[in-house]
Amino acid sequence: MVNDSIIAGPELDNNSAMKVLKGKKGSLVKVGVFRRSEKELIHFEITRDVIPTFSVDIAFMPNETTGYIKVSKFSATTFTEFKKAVNNLLENGMKNLVLDLRGNTGGYLQEAIDLADEFMEKGNIIVYTKGRNQPKEVFYSTAKGKLEENKLIILIDENSASASEILAGAIQDNDRGLIVGRRSFGKGLVQRQLDFLDGSALRLTVARYYTPTGRCIQKPYDNETGFDGYYTESYHRYFNGEMTDQDSTHFNDSLKFVTPGGKVVYGGGGIMPDIFVPIEKDERLGFYNKLFQKGLMYRFAFKYTDDNRKSLQKYNSFSEFNEGFNIDPYILKKFLKYSVENDVETDKEGLAYAKGKIETLIKAYISRNLFDDKGFYPVILPSDSVFIKALQLFENPV
């Protein structure tokens, strides 16, 4: 309920709810919230304000010398957020940095360039653009960066795109750090918007982005692949085995490029990692995958948090929660009952194989409900194969 208006129910959509919630900055809105753990609505009076959108989800030290920063997108404030996070990590003794760009679909180009600049000495090419009727424009690193001396590993996957690929390509082509994970999406077009008098607009592609060695970031799109082929290309990677087996990826000699340090890198669309880490593909994960695809761990964690909010209040901080809370047999039994109620029967063999993964993800989601992303990543990362590989590479460089 917002003021005197009911905004829940099958006939009300999110847009209708948002119209009631939004208002002039500084004005008050009364909100009634229903929780399963409470018998009556809980009432709040909220002062309306501009809500900032953050792009650095978390920055923390997984060990004494390594920092981890998760950048989910490149917004107008990303570089400012990044600098603040880096300063805190350096004060805590950071020597190595894991920069996680997995799932980052891009955003502001300048923010990605500014981040790359922090890792490089002056005068290195970060990215350049080139088009049929557009002059070549080159972006260089400028003054001394704060992180020039720190070891760097960037994590990417098939959903890392655009500005993420520009940053990863700049680091890779300048031999500044390692790229770990799987080939990125391959989105690197420069577009110009043409506005028309009727209010409509046309976005015209005028150039493409290239990494310092000359690799085109944009994956091919032509008459052979077609519209559907372009947008389903990532699915074809999975079924062709590229995401599970590095040997499934083949390149023509024309797609080979060499960095100043002598490392061979490959074009053809997207950024190929220096160190490939496959996705898990195991028939024994069938039960886990069903649960995950239906969002049952997420939904159960939300319900559990709501039903047990009072008892969970004893954890005053994430560290207390992480040390004191575990998914015990009673909670797991409740989850399995919940999954059956949602049409996923328990597979005993699949449960035995994936029990640890299921319990970890439920705990991570509960932790996120209590402590936001600061409670999610420290729980989930210790079992993340790509992150584990990054830590190993700091200890034993290739």
Catalytic residues: 162, 173, 187
All residues at 6 or more sequence positions from 207 whose CB lies less than 8 Å from its CB, including other chains: 129, 130, 131, 134, 137, 189, 190
CA dihedral of 81, 82, 86, 87, whole degrees rounded to 10: -40
CA distances from 150 to 96, 120, 192 (A): 6, 10, 37
Q: What are the backbone dihedrals phi and psi of residue 388, each rounded to the nearest 5 degrees, phi first? A: -60, -40
Which phi-psi region, left, alpha or beta, contains residue 396 (left: φ > 0; alpha: ψ -120 to 50)?
A: beta
